[in-house]
Amino acid sequence: MKNLSIDPERLWDDLMETAKIGGTPKGGICRLTLTELDREVRDWFKTRATALGCTVTVDDMGNMFARSAGQRADIPPIGMGSHLDTQPTGGKFDGTLGVLAALEALRTLREAGYETFAPIEVINWTNEEGARFAPAMIASGVFAGVFTHDWAAARADRSGETFGAALEKIGYRGPEPCGQHKLSAFFELHIEQGPYLEAEGKDIGVVTGVQAMRWYEVTVTGQDTHAGTTPMPRRHDALLAAARLVQVVNAAACKHPGAVGTVGLLEVKPGAPNVVPGEVFFMIDMRDPDPAVLDNMENAIAATADKIAAELGVAIAIKNIWSQPPQPFDADCIAAVREAARVSDFTTRDMISGAGHDAAYVARVAPSAMIFVPCKDGISHNEAEYSSKEQCAAGAQVLLQAVLDYDRRLAERYGR
């Protein structure tokens, strides 16, 4: 098992080739979920998985499963994968590394003629980012029974197109009801998207869980009026109220060490330079390992919103649209990751993921764990996102070895 090694060049070539699908002039990727570009990269993935002898199935949320047979067809597969959709100014590695490294691990097994005990599946989860259809991780959420299929399919983007219609349009709504696909375990390789592995000079993050996170939709309603003729005391300025609330979100997060709070999407109506804004829509993203901290932040924001509304004569509606509790990973899967890093002579650090990942939902229905590799300056959700060929290869090697280690554990459990 130890002598099985992934091919760093082949993995890097795949990363650079798929980076062209939605590639941006600044070297990033804009490949929003369920767009023509997403279809193109899905086709790319399906072609290569099929060429490897996999059978590719798709469920009715567009999740893709490329299965390679093992000795025991009656045992649910060990899954490994991530997502191929990106942020609007995404990088080459967020999500894509996890899918392509899984493909490379499978290629390595097939080239070596190594037959696993359980089947192995490479998985591409739909809409992990939530950048087009909120919230994030919708499809793995349906897979885990957190969202219903109909609720997810009805989620609309800012233009009003629904998830279901967009999935149909790219031809990736599969026949398999999402959630019926059993897995023995799931492993996800991902860039850390934060600064700690690089700062501490560690090769591999052994991810023991994912922190809690919540999204809110906020609508501030004031009054459109003339910017030149309306005296300041007579205004009901929705953007002024929203700006104060953005400050409150920031202050609420800064009050709790380790918590984070962000307003990343904000729309102003009518959006004319000489009209006092009558309506503002924005979204809040708040996270912390402890949900009680998020409760505290939520209460502080709501209380201050009431004061701002009264003072400025606007209405403020705050709607929680997503609430993901902290998600611990499975001890056996974590042990498999740790053992894989050890046999591969990589240094490690245990960590909780600040970012959400599909593994956080899959962990509700199958034993799961994650592997992190460093990324330059901890930058992600940015076109400058970068992990080196060696770092990507290290992650893929640990992914391969972790899946093999878990496969051995399964064989012992089933008494091979």
R_g over Cα of the chain: 23
Residue from 355, 370, 398, 410 touching ligand HGY (CB under 6 A): that is 355
Q: Which of 18, 153, 27 is nearest to 96 (CA)?
A: 18
Report in angstroms how near the CB of residue 129 gets to Mn ion at its nearest: 5
Minimum distance, C-beta of residue 296 to Mn ion, in the bound complex (Å): 26
Q: Does 261 bind Mn ion (CB under 5 A)?
A: no
- Residues paired with 285 in a beta bridge: 215, 262
Q: Would strands 185-191 and 78-82 be described as parallel, antiparallel, or unpaired? A: parallel
Which neighbouring-strand residues pair with 58?
64
Amino acid code (one letter) for 44? W
Q: Which of residues 356-375 bind ligand HGY (CB under 6 A)?
A: 356
Site for Mn ion in 69-98 (CB under 5 A): 94-95
* Minimum CB distance to ligand HGY, residue 129 (Å): 5
From the list ligand HGY, Mn ion, none, pick the one residue 95 interacts with, judged by a Cβ distance below 5 to 8 Å according to partner type: Mn ion
Residue 277 interacting partner from ligand HGY, Mn ion, none (CB closer than 5 to 8 Å by kind): none
Least separation in angstroms between CB 148 and Mn ion: 24
Minimal distance in Å, beta carbon 136 to ligand HGY?
4
Q: Does 407 bind Mn ion (CB under 5 A)?
A: no
CA 11 to chain centre: 21
Which residues on neighbouring strands pair with residue 80, listed in sequence order?
122, 187
Nearest residue (CB) to Mn ion, 60 versus 188: 188
For residue 92, count other CB atoms closer than 10 A to its CB: 22
Write out the DSSP string of 261-314: EEEEEEEEES--TTEE--EEEEEEEEEES-HHHHHHHHHHHHHHHHHHHHHHT-
Q: Is 285 in the site for Mn ion (CB under 5 A)?
A: no
Per-residue x/- marks for Mn ion, 93-132, CB under 5 A?
Answer: -xx-------------------------------------
Rounded-to-integer distance, Cα 130 and Cα 117, Å: 35
**Residue (29 or 136) nearer to ligand HGY, CB:** 136
In contact, 280 and 220? CB cutoff 8 Å: yes
The answer, yes or no, to whether the previous bond of 135 is cis (omega within 30 of 0) is yes
Residue closer to ligand HGY (CB basis): 346 or 361:
361
Token pair in block for residue 378: 């901890």
Residue closest to ligand HGY (Cβ): 355
* Strand pairing report for 212-221 and 348-353: unpaired
Q: Does 192 bind ligand HGY (CB under 6 A)?
A: no
Min dist. Cβ of residue 135 to ligand HGY (A): 9
- Angle, helices 331-343 vs 389-414, to 10°: value is 130
Query: In angstroms, how far is the first alpha carbon of the chain from the final one?
Result: 17
Q: Does position 128 bind ligand HGY by CB under 6 A?
A: yes
Site for ligand HGY in 129-148 (CB under 6 A): 129-130, 136
| Span near ligand HGY by CB under 6 A; candidates 49-57, 128-136, 254-262, 320-328 | 128-136
The residues that touch ligand HGY, with contacts defined as CB under 6 A, are 128-130, 136, 355-356
Q: Binding residues for Mn ion, per CB under 5 A?
A: 94-95
